[in-house]
Structure 1
């Protein structure tokens, strides 16, 4: 195969990525190229084919009618090209490249940061970009390889692998309990300073208890809400109130007595499941496959189901 034909095939792969990611910049980021290099290759491809593939403006791109027809073929070439890349990695025994992982800040700090250190010790050629943010991330648009998500997932084309389940505890610092007293029944919480987790999508201030009288749901007007579970645990340790929180966010605070569990005669509502989520593909890159396998084996024992 001559060089010009190879260049055209590579340009077609790049064209498919431009459409896939919705912009020249998105294709450039995924391909490790500059935006200007992507623009030049697209222009050269259009010149070679003698047709306009995309209508481009400062804000978006739009396929021409000819572009739609070429895209069908380019998508097949792109899929074959990516399968060969993955096959090459497997045959050479290589695990490397850029791995982009998204997770909420609290779970990321408690679990993923130490796990990434262990994973990179095994696979030093993998560069991990860990995004800790409490917002809904679109895996395709944001080019995420793996996301850690909490709660029941909506139906989608994504693959979800269950890693475990949160375990709830209600606790406070010894200093707070000495000053304000210890609640004996859930309704007592209405007379206490309470702390809860809240992000842009949800506010977790409805606490569910199961006891001798069945279910008791307490809706609290909490004095402090934080969108980071690590900071929420710290606020409880500082004596600011009683918190309902995932046990895995507390580190050794319960074992060392910095926090004390309350209302232990009651069973708390079931914890949210935790999933590793990734785009559906016929062949996962070795870096993604190995990271998912690593998570399945090593995710925190506090929340393994």
Structure 2
């Protein structure tokens, strides 16, 4: 057993950013654990992704022909078959909606361990340590994954940098995936979100609002406040679901992850698990909520149980 297998993620002909990041992490790690670095792409035409996956440090790109759209059962079956053949030490994939669709099931079938929402892996002497947050992301947790079994690691977005271009060859692999594909519903089409005027994933400073703003008419006030402060305007899921802001502004599991954010100002957000997924890793989180027991305070760096409209008044006066 040795080496690393990376499962690529793509949507409508474009590779996901976390795939390159996973390859970057694997490249830096493979010299310490030994074995090859192999990247697998499951797609209608795997060859179209070859050049973008043959990055520095990759030894081989494996192409598996299947439907172009993501199917969790197909990805699970293909990754399982390849892992049995290659016997990797680590299987890396993105901690994304798609990754969560098949990653845990893959780990169970492989009989190994699973680390979700990881942001790094260290080789400490003879040990392998997966890095992730603990206690509401207030502490750094190091999980020992040194046991002689395959470990599936789901990598948080923004955790590594993609390598430069390389020259890894492409090998097409034929797998029988018909029975797996038959287990899921038929894919009909993609539904495009409305055009986005923000990119939450690239913002370094985000001001997000939740149900605490009480009324849709207050959206423009807080949007203007975000502009005054030089922040990107974000929101929690209830705001997007109500149609008060486009989905592109939503931070969370079914929205966007604040991958590059350094300062997150949460106004009137309770802190549901879905929302915390998109921002709990941010270095500095300032939460404002009159409910002192709100879950957002479990991850906040600083908190203020004050009226958010009073705070908005003060900030508007200060930054007028």
Q: Please, what TM-score do these two structures have when normalized by structure 2?
A: 0.26
Structure ranking higher in helix proportion: 1
From the CA coordinates, give the structure whose radius of gyration is larger.
1
Q: Please, what TM-score do these two structures have when normalized by structure 1?
A: 0.26
Select the structure with the greater relative contact order (CA < 8 A; seq sep ≥ 6): 1
